[in-house]
Amino acid sequence: MAENAEPGWYLDGTPDQVRYWDGQAWTDRTFRTGRAEEYGRTSKRKVFKPSGQLVDATYRLLFADRRMILFVFAGCLVAAAAAGSVVGPVWLWRDVEPSFTPGDWAGLALAAAAFAVASLVMQLTMGVVVASALERAAGRPVTFGAAVRLTWSRRRQLLAWALVSALVGMVVRVLERFGLGGLVAALTLNVGWAVATVFATPVLLVEGTGPLATLRRSASVMRQNFGVTTIGSISLALPWVVLGWGAGVLAVVGGIVLAIGGSLLMTLVGAVCLALGVAGLCFTSATSAALSATLQATIYRYAVGEPVPGVDPRWMPTRID
């Protein structure tokens, strides 16, 4: 291999096998392609295709432990309860309401505290999902307890990141109060932050970086993998968005029928539709969030040259500046 070759997957002389070159030397990471000659003709091209293999691998990793979906749902409930436990007592006993209005410092402080607590809970929750996916993709046996321990070992980094995320969220909400210009600025910041921090959780768990280094690293991974991340995310999310909309419509119809009432049968039908719709919304939201976190883990592993079982490395860019 030429010394100046870019990091990536290359033929190493073994039939039907490629090996990862880290830019300086061969590594011990290999992948059996079954199509080595074809790979040799295409390995120098960046190939971006609808990531069917990537989506399939993400489903396999998540559904290997379906408890993660329930865990995400539980995490959302705990985050809401945690935020409520911060807001409730102050609101009742001090008559201070959470606010995003500039100048209302007490309300802003209360809202910021609630944001920070909820953000920390969700960061820990999604960290467990990502940790499970990372370990399973590496071929190691994974238990729920092991994923929790891995996440907890990075609690300081996750706490710092949760505080930064909460601060950004507060700034966005405050900017929205400044008319059209503020709305544009808030939208720009919100979208930019969301895109740049897609891979923050796997970076935090694997590399243990601080907030600024995590932001830079996540943005670098996203920049190098923008096409495949976008395609994979849309392919993964679209069915669940459609199902979520269907569940929402069912819940609304159930609520309307329940409000109209008129007979025991109508009331019963409305209650059943409402319950099914709400349950469907909860399930689709939790599943979509868990799949998104797992997708982050799979793309991150490829970005640093680590294979994911069942996914051909040719469909993923592997070089990170």
The pLDDT tens digits of the residues spanning 174-205 come to 898 888 899 999 999 999 999 999 999 999 99
In a domain, 321, yes or no: no
Same domain, 276 and 147: no
Q: What is the mean pLDDT of the chain?
A: 82
In the predicted structure, residue 44 carries a pLDDT above the cut 90? no
**Strands 26-32, 17-21: parallel, antiparallel or unpaired by DSSP?**
antiparallel
- Of 173, 199, 224, the domain-final residue: 224
Q: Are residues 76 and 174 in the same domain?
A: yes
Distance of CA 8 to the CA centre of its chain: 25
Give the integer Cα–Cα distance in Å for 96 and 107: 6
**pTM score, two decimals?**
0.75
Q: Given a cut of 90, is residue 302 above it in pLDDT?
A: no
Residue type, 169: G
Q: Is residue 135 part of a domain?
A: yes
Mark whether 167 and 272 lie in a shared domain: no
For residue 129, pLDDT beyond 80: yes
Q: Among 13-27, 214-228, 267-281, which is the least confidently predicted range?
A: 13-27
316 lies in some domain = no
Confidence band of 15 (pLDDT split at 50, 70, 90): low
Confidence of residue 96 (pLDDT cuts 50, 70, 90): confident
Contact 221, 315 (CB under 8 A): no
Q: Are residues 249 and 205 in the same domain?
A: no
Same domain, 66 and 14: no
172 and 210, same structural domain?
yes
Distance between CA 28 and CA 38 in Å, rounded? 22
Residue 227's closest CA among 87, 48, 86, 14?
A: 48
User: Which amino acid appears at position 130 of this protein?
Assistant: V
Q: Is residue 315 part of a domain?
A: no
What is residue 258's predicted lDDT score, i.e. its pLDDT? 85
Last residue of a domain, one of 190, 224, 258: 224
Asked if residue 219 belongs to a domain, the reply is: yes
Residue 243 has pLDDT above 90, yes or no: yes
Give the Cα separation of 111 and 312 in Å (integer).
Answer: 46
- Burial of 51 by CB count in 10 Å (0-12 exposed, 13-18 middle, 19+ buried)? buried
Report long-range pairs for 308-311 (Cβ below 8 Å, ≥24 apart): 308/54, 308/57, 308/61, 308/137, 309/57, 309/60, 309/137, 309/139, 310/53, 310/56, 310/57, 310/60, 311/53, 311/54, 311/56, 311/57
- Classify residue 294: in a domain, yes or no: no
Mean pLDDT of 270-283: 91
Domain check: are 148 and 181 in the same one? yes
Rounded Cα distance, 155 and 131, in Å: 13
Compute the average pLDDT of residues 1-15.
63
Q: How many beta carbons lie within 10 A of that of residue 298, not counting itself? A: 28
Together in a domain, 250 and 270 = yes
Q: How many domains does the chain have?
A: 3
- Among the listed residues 235, 154, 145, 240, the one whose alpha carbon sits nearest the alpha carbon of residue 200: 154
Q: How far apart are the first and last CA of the chain?
A: 20
Nearest C-alpha neighbor of 142 from the set 202, 70, 207, 68:
68
Residue 191 lies in a domain: yes
Q: Is the pLDDT of residue 37 over 50?
A: no
Kindly state whether residues 253 and 208 are assigned to the same domain: no
For 222, half-sphere exposure in the C-beta direction (CA atoms, 13 angstrom radius) is: 20
Q: What is the pLDDT of residue 266?
A: 86
Whether 161 and 243 share a structural domain: no
DSSP for 40-54, written as a single string: HHHTTS------HHH
Flag whether pLDDT at 41 surpasses 60: no
CA 108 – CA 99 distance, rounded (Å): 5
Residue 301 domain-assigned (yes or no): no
Do 171 and 215 fall within a single domain? yes
Its domain, for residue 268, covers 237-286
Judge if 103 and 147 occupy the same domain.
Answer: yes
Phi-psi region of 257 (alpha: psi -120 to 50; beta: other; left: phi over 0): alpha
* DSSP three-state, residue 312: coil
